[in-house]
Structure 1
């Protein structure tokens, strides 16, 4: 069972990856608290609880956690949701001994982490991610927060969990579209820092997409190592950690432009990664062969849902990106398979060109999908 230690100047914790972890959840929580008293509060969505609530309840036995629910979906990752959950914690008598457990995908993890950061000026929490995307990316590194109408994750804080428990059994109920979307974050990890992971995803696509346990465990562990290594070297995103946002600048813009309703987060990141790859090619930072491999791998793990949006609108929305400094857009581009750099002189015209090219690929994907559907109907 892979266990990866993440150490930063302010925190040190384990990310455990394996099968059946939720069966031992109460014991693991007690171990994390080192015999100190605690009261567990599990934050989840009704959909996740409907799939796994019985198993979690069975693991806790007579001493059940207090379960708090938040509505599923990115549109509920807002301050009003946080306020509601804070009131529920207070009404349930949660104090400084409260231990929050984020049991869900990226939205649940981000919101729960933010709750833990601000309730009574900070309580402990544990991440138990239930989606591939959350297991390989969002549950790790201590970033917490919610969205504003102006953009994603503009309100939040850095607050590390006591541990991350990535139970690969939870992926068995994950819809294929969400599995594919989550794998875009693993592809990103390969592009920016791990050429071996990139090649593994190239050579083992069939097994990974079938949900083969061994293949998925390998991918999750390799992706986590990338994230942990980057975070350990740049906890507060002052430099290196920005590379983890590869594909996210235009990806977040696509999500905002479509009201967070048309695409899964990983799909938007996939399209954003395609745009970033094209921009790197335009600038001569990578060769055609590497660019082709990157784009082909992203599409291999699709299909990615297309969106109807204008290039100018997407570029305008990048003005609210968190990577911006002093009004300058910092953009993550590929330098090779396994290496990415932060570029600080990308122009609006370059972004328009990359976004326009990406939108053409979306149109092509949409046409191909329509043709396949027509063939099936025949």
Structure 2
């Protein structure tokens, strides 16, 4: 299962609109600096008596009032739900806080939810929107690089379960995605690096020209250069839009977007949600998946070394953690068998079938064990 999406030249402007073509569920991703200072960014939304902003304790003081000001002329009542920050709060108990607020504020099926924050807020708000009264509208307003290039796009919503990451969720598309690049100025370096992991993944699975561009512009991206970020966000969204438009519910092609995630999700669950950022786990997981690809004869050692070097330059870990003292490799396999891509207990990995091409396939347990052992011991 390989990609066939045409490459495009670099952006000449920091502003762009990317369209997600899903018939009646289609929507636009707007990418520019300063969108939260312009009420017109939210033109076209349906009218409703109540809007509810879901955010967290970190983002609310930074951008909560800006969003309320943008929405003030559109909704008679605007309420804000402030959740604790962090992946360790992405669970059913925290989700119920959102449901409690929606009920308390008299929300109905026309009420609009706004997800203001990173991937955790976006996933939980989207899942709440999918469930409340069997579905109400919501808008993604991602404030982290990772959310802007990946989690806010495509309609995947979920919360974690002790047995695995994102096991409870639904496919539910937003009305709109508003990516204000200005919000990235307040992003800590560790979070910026985590977002770069989800940008880097698009190169090996589809666009090697984009990978080369990332290698050349990595320092500018890490420094928060607006023009570089605008192109990176736009190109990432373009690739994801094409994939999601062809396979909304991950029946086939869309699974390639999970490159690095099978190993990465095992890392997150194994060390405890919130200890490693999602992007950190994905970055390390890509190195592990590339190593497995090499041992299956799909890519050469030079490709793995190139990817590892880029991941490390991005400020991401390339050495996997040990998550079980007695049987580390066995624990990884156990967690990966709980991954959503597994079928009948068989782990299916997103592998690189030559630079710029991805394939989803199983691998022998013994080979996977050797990769885990070496990647945990490397460095």
Report the TM-score when normalising by structure 2: 0.91
Question: Which of 14, 30, 34 is 2:28 aligned to?
Answer: 14
Distance (Å, rounded) in 2 between the aligned partners of 1:250 and 1:177: 20
Pick which of 41-50 and 289-298 moved more.
Answer: 289-298
Q: Call closer, same or farther: CA 1:9–1:331 in 2, change over 3 Å.
A: farther
- The aligned counterpart of 2:357 is 339
Distance (Å, rounded) in 2 between the aligned partners of 1:305 and 1:120: 44
- The aligned counterpart of 2:62 is 51
- The aligned counterpart of 1:259 is 272
Q: Call closer, same or farther: CA 1:84–1:305 in 2, change over 3 Å.
A: farther
1:274-313 Cα deviation digits (max 9, x unpaired): 0000001111101222222111111111242863422322
Question: Which of 351, 354, 363 is 2:368 aligned to?
Answer: 351
1:246–1:332 CA contact under 8 A, matched in 2: yes
- In structure 1, the residue corresponding to 2:147 is in which secondary structure? helix
- The aligned counterpart of 2:347 is 329
Q: Give, in angstroms, the shift of residue 8 of structure 1.
A: 2.1
Question: Which of 292, 295, 304 is 2:308 aligned to?
Answer: 295
Corresponding residue pairs, total: 358
Higher relative contact order (CA 8 A, sep 6+): 2
- Which structure's residues are more often helix, by fraction? 1
- The aligned counterpart of 1:140 is 153
- The aligned counterpart of 1:68 is 81
1:275–1:357 CA contact under 8 A, matched in 2: no
Give the unaligned 5+ runs of structure 2. Answer: 1-14
Q: Call closer, same or farther: CA 1:305–1:347 in 2, change over 3 Å.
A: closer
Distance (Å, rounded) in 2 between the aligned partners of 1:86 and 1:305: 39
2:155–2:173 CA contact under 8 A, matched in 1: yes
Q: Give, in angstroms, the shift of residue 193 of structure 1.
A: 1.2
Distance (Å, rounded) in 2 between the aligned partners of 1:44 and 1:248: 25
- The aligned counterpart of 2:109 is 96
- The aligned counterpart of 1:319 is 337
Distance (Å, rounded) in 1 between the aligned partners of 2:318 and 2:351: 23
Distance (Å, rounded) in 2 between the aligned partners of 1:340 and 1:302: 24
Q: Call closer, same or farther: CA 1:268–1:240 in 2, change over 3 Å.
A: same
1:22–1:167 CA contact under 8 A, matched in 2: yes
- In structure 2, the residue corresponding to 1:235 is in which secondary structure? coil
- The aligned counterpart of 1:229 is 242
Q: Call closer, same or farther: CA 1:313–1:260 in 2, change over 3 Å.
A: same
Distance (Å, rounded) in 1 between the aligned partners of 2:19 and 2:307: 29
Q: Give, in angstroms, the shift of residue 30 of structure 1.
A: 4.7
Give the unaligned 5+ runs of structure 1. Answer: 365-378
Pick which of 269-278 and 301-310 moved more.
Answer: 301-310
1:263–1:305 CA contact under 8 A, matched in 2: no
Distance (Å, rounded) in 1 between the aligned partners of 2:107 and 2:290: 47
2:288–2:372 CA contact under 8 A, matched in 1: yes
- The aligned counterpart of 1:360 is 377
Pick which of 293-302 and 137-146 moved more.
Answer: 293-302
Distance (Å, rounded) in 2 between the aligned partners of 1:258 and 1:29: 39
- The aligned counterpart of 1:374 is none
Q: Is residue 24 from structure 1 mapped to residue 42 from structure 2 by the alignment?
A: no
1:44–1:104 CA contact under 8 A, matched in 2: yes
Question: Which of 165, 168, 173 is 1:160 aligned to?
Answer: 173
2:72–2:78 CA contact under 8 A, matched in 1: no
Q: Give, in angstroms, the shift of residue 59 of structure 1.
A: 3.3
Aligned residue runs from structure 1 range 211-230, under 5 A:
211-230=224-243
- In structure 2, the residue corresponding to 1:177 is in which secondary structure? helix
2:49–2:77 CA contact under 8 A, matched in 1: no
Report the TM-score when normalising by structure 1: 0.91
RMSD: 1.6
Distance (Å, rounded) in 2 between the aligned partners of 1:95 and 1:216: 38
1:102–1:109 CA contact under 8 A, matched in 2: yes
1:218-246 Cα deviation digits (max 9, x unpaired): 11111111111111111110111110111
- The aligned counterpart of 2:4 is none
Distance (Å, rounded) in 2 between the aligned partners of 1:29 and 1:16: 10
